[in-house]
Amino acid sequence: MKAAPVDLSDGSLAADRYRIDTPQPATPKAMAKVARKLVAHHGWDGPVGVCMPSVVTHGVVRSAANIDPSWLGVDADAVFTEAVGQPVSVLNDADAAGVAEMTWGSGRGRPGVVICLTFGTGIGSGLFVDGVLVPNTELGHLELDGPDVEKRAAASARDRERLSWEEWGDRVDHYLKHVVMLFSPELVILGGGASKKPDRWVHRLDPGCAIAIAEMANNAGIAGAALLAPEPGASRSTRE
């Protein structure tokens, strides 16, 4: 778990990220304690945005494929708001990263359907129509050659199965072609840890639409969460 204040004029971090290992088990109570420490470290007294790898609707966690199942049905907004003593808004982590890319990165000013995909432990997705987020798409859980395509096409699959970059790139291309067939995007933005080495695998991709490498890198989730934090009573230039 990590946090930083964000300059909302350009999405840059206003201080270094501070990181604390995710507690095990990562229950709401345990994570709330860490969140309090993260916010206190930065001396923050304004609204807070939190992103999680799950479906989140109106602050309530609705899926737990990649988090502790004790989160299911929990009002995460309320849990974190009570813990940090500031208003908190919780959203899907890939949605947050996509919002950052559409605001300051590779999707800035792009009309039509744009999909931001993050390749890491799983595959996260942020879907936008004329710049407006369609939340909680979770396209890493599409069924393609079996359930949960992220088990075969996430960046973690390359390490787990000892695939070459080219072999893994071919799997990603197969997945992207399926996504393009379903949603007909004008642009797919590729993010996550694997996007740091695009020369190793992006040449294997030909999904049938434009592709771009994410520009916000590891700051995307934090920056997007900050942008969607609750509006404060008075305007501020930065948010957590």
Average pLDDT over residues 110-115: 97
pLDDT tens-place string over residues 141-178: 999 999 999 999 999 999 999 999 999 999 999 999 99
Stated as kind and residue range, the H or E segment containing 191 is strand 187-191
Cα torsion angle, 103, 192, 40, 63, sign: positive
Instruction: List, as one string, the DSSP characters of 77-127.
Output: HHHHHHHHSS-EEEEEHHHHHHHHHHHHSTTTT--SEEEEEEESSSEEEEE
CB of 180 closer than 8 Å to CB of 188: yes
**Which among 32, 80, 34 has a CA at the least distance from the CA of 59?**
80
Per-residue pLDDT tens digits for 9-41: 999 999 999 999 999 999 999 999 999 999 999
Q: Which of these CATH numbers, 3.40.50.2000, 3.40.718.10, 3.40.50.1000, 3.30.420.40, describes 106-214? A: 3.30.420.40
Local confidence band at 239 (pLDDT 50, 70, 90 cut-offs): low
Helices and strands, counts by H and E, the chain: 7, 13
Asked if 84 and 1 count as a contact pair (C-beta separation under 8 A), the reply is no
H helix runs in the chain, sequence order: 28-41, 76-84, 93-104, 150-153, 155-160, 165-183, 220-227
By residue count, the chain amounts to 240
Q: Assign domain 2-92+225-239 one CATH number from 3.40.1190.20, 3.40.50.970, 3.30.70.360, 3.30.420.40.
A: 3.30.420.40
Domain extents in the chain: 2-92+225-239, 106-214
Confidence of residue 231 (pLDDT cuts 50, 70, 90): confident
Cβ–Cβ < 8 Å for 191, 114: no
- Cβ contacts of residue 25 below 8 Å, gap of 6+? 68, 70
- Do the first three CATH levels of 2-92+225-239 and 106-214 match, i.e. the same topology? yes
The model's pTM is 0.93
Q: Give the pair of three-digit tokens for residue 10.
A: 């350009």
* pLDDT score of 237: 46
Count the Cβ atoms, other than its own, within 10 Å of residue 147.
Answer: 10
The rounded distance, in Å, linking the Cα atoms of 115 and 125 is 7
pLDDT in tens, 58-108: 999 999 999 999 999 999 999 999 999 999 999 999 999 999 999 999 999
Token pair 């792009």 is found at 110
Residue 70 to residue 134: CA distance in whole angstroms: 26
